Amino acid sequence: MTAKKKEVFISVDIETSGPIPGDYDLLSIGMCLVDKPSVNFYCELKPTSNKYDPEALSVTGFNLDTLLSTGLLANVAMTECSKWIDQNIKANEIPIFVGFNVGFDWSFINYYFHKYLGSNPFGYTSIDIKSMYFGCFDVNWTDTKSSKIVERLKAKLTSNHNALQDSIFQAELFNLILKEKNGDKI
C-alpha cells in the first residue's frame, strides 16, 4: 500500500488572447503556494498565433507585438513553470491546482503542458474557488462573484488581471473560505 501524499495547494491564474486553448494564446501565468503566497512564479509568453479576441486582449493589457519580443517561447515557459512546481513539491507531496473559475484557467494550463511537455504536473483535477464558496456557504450562484466573496470575507487584496497578483488574491480567498468554514474568526 502506498502512503497518502500530502496535498500542496497552488493558486494559478492566467491571461489569454481569447476564450479557448488551441485557437487562442496563453499570454501569462501566475502561480503561488496557497499557504505561502510569497513563494510564487510568473512568466509572459510569446503568442503562437495572430488570433485574438479584442475584448480579451483589452482586459489583459498586453500588446501581442511586445510579447513577441519580450515573452518566453511556450515550451520554455512551460518548462520553467514545471521546474517551479518541482522545486516546491517534495517527493511525498502532490500539487493541487486552485483557481477562480478554474475551468477556464485549467483548460489552458492543461493544454499547454500537454502540447509542450507531454504531461500536466497537476494531473486532471483542480479545485474551483467559486464552487468551493458555493458549497461551503448558503449562497446563490450569483453570490460567487469575486466582489461578493471579498465583501463577505473582508479580503484585503483585489484582482487586477495581472496573473501573479490574481493568483495571490485567489490564495487569500481560498484561505479565508477555509478559515470561515472551520469557524475561525476572520
pLDDT tens digits, one per residue of 11-55: 999 999 999 999 999 999 999 999 999 999 999 999 999 899 999
CATH number of the 6-129 domain = 3.30.420.10
pLDDT tens digits, one per residue of 126-169: 999 999 999 999 899 999 999 999 999 999 999 999 999 999 99
Among 39, 72, 161, 162, the one annotated catalytic: 161
For residue 72, list its beta bridge partners. Answer: 45
How confident is the model over 97-115, as a mean pLDDT? 97
- DSSP line for 55-115: HHHHHHT--HHHHHHHSBPHHHHHHHHHHHHHHH--TTEEEEEEETTHHHHHHHHHHHHHH
pTM of the model: 0.94
Cell 516546491 belongs to residue: 88
Distance separating alpha carbons of residues 48 and 25, to the nearest angstrom: 6
- Could you confirm whether 161 is annotated as catalytic? yes
Distance separating alpha carbons of residues 81 and 161, to the nearest angstrom: 19
